[in-house]
Structures are given as structure tokens and as C-alpha cells.
């Protein structure tokens, strides 16, 4: 996977033949949504599979959720794999309270090679972080 350089410090894209990963940084609010929407729209149309990583997002509002829903739906409409990586409790709660768990399907980050990741959740849906 190689890093595709972007001029925006709030967006990093890594791409390989089978997967594109978008890392977002900062506050996913109306200002950031307007900046990254064009890029995410292109990736939702063209990526072989798309992962959006929110581990570096410190805040998300309704416009941020709207962008994620739009992206997830466009990716799935193409029959392509969608993954939302999030370990931020506040964002996970917002997704749950908005009733978007089934649409966004947030999942914890993959454990590092060697199995040194966090223990599996004790309750809740498999593959989901408890919130």
C-alpha cells in the first residue's frame, strides 16, 4: 500500500490494488466536510474497497455523520466493501444515538501483527467496540 500525497493536512489516502484507506484528522464538522467531500466522492465511486479511519478525529457533528453515511451508501451501492474504523467513544456514541450502527458499521482498528491488540469485547455485537 502506498501513501498518496494530498495538499490537505486533514486527509491522508493509502491505496493498493485491492483497498483504499482514508485517514481523517481533526474535527469532522461542516468546514472539514466541505473540504474532503469531493475527494471522498471520487474514492466512493472508484476505490476497489474503501476504509475510512477516524482514529485521529477528535469531534464529529451531524454534517460529519452525513458525509460518512453518503460515502458508505455509495460504496455499498457499487457492491464494494466498506469499513469504518473508529476507536473514539464519543463518535461511537454519536453513531449509536443517531441509529446509524447498521449503516456505518463502525469497527475497532485491526490488532497489530503478532496479536498484541486489545482484548475482544465481552458483550455486544461481535467486532464492535463497547460504548
Distance CA 37, CA 79 (A): 21
CATH no. for residue 27? 3.30.750.24
Q: What is the CA radius of gyration of the chain?
A: 14
Band (109; pLDDT cuts 50, 70, 90) = confident
Band (131; pLDDT cuts 50, 70, 90) = very low
Cβ(46)–Cβ(77) below 8 Å = no
Q: What range does the domain containing 23 cover?
A: 2-107
Domain count, the chain: 1
| pTM of the entire predicted model | 0.80
Interval 6-62: pLDDT, tens: 567 889 999 888 999 999 999 999 999 999 999 999 999 999 999 999 999 999 999
Residue 30 lies in a domain: yes
Amino acid at each position: 500500500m502506498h501513501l498518496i500525497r494530498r495538499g490537505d493536512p486533514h486527509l491522508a489516502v493509502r491505496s493498493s490494488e485491492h483497498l483504499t484507506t482514508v485517514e481523517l484528522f481533526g474535527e469532522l464538522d461542516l468546514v472539514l466536510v466541505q473540504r474532503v467531500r469531493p475527494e471522498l466522492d471520487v474514492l466512493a465511486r472508484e476505490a476497489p474497497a474503501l476504509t475510512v479511519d477516524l482514529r485521529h478525529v477528535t469531534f464529529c457533528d451531524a454534517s460529519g455523520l452525513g458525509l460518512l453515511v453518503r460515502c458508505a451508501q455509495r460504496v455499498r451501492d457499487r457492491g464494494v466493501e466498506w469499513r469504518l474504523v473508529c476507536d473514539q467513544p464519543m463518535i461511537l456514541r454519536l453513531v449509536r444515538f443517531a441509529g446509524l450502527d447498521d449503516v456505518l458499521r463502525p469497527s475497532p482498528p485491526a490488532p497489530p501483527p503478532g496479536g498484541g491488540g486489545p482484548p475482544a469485547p465481552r458483550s455486544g455485537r461481535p467486532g464492535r467496540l463497547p460504548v
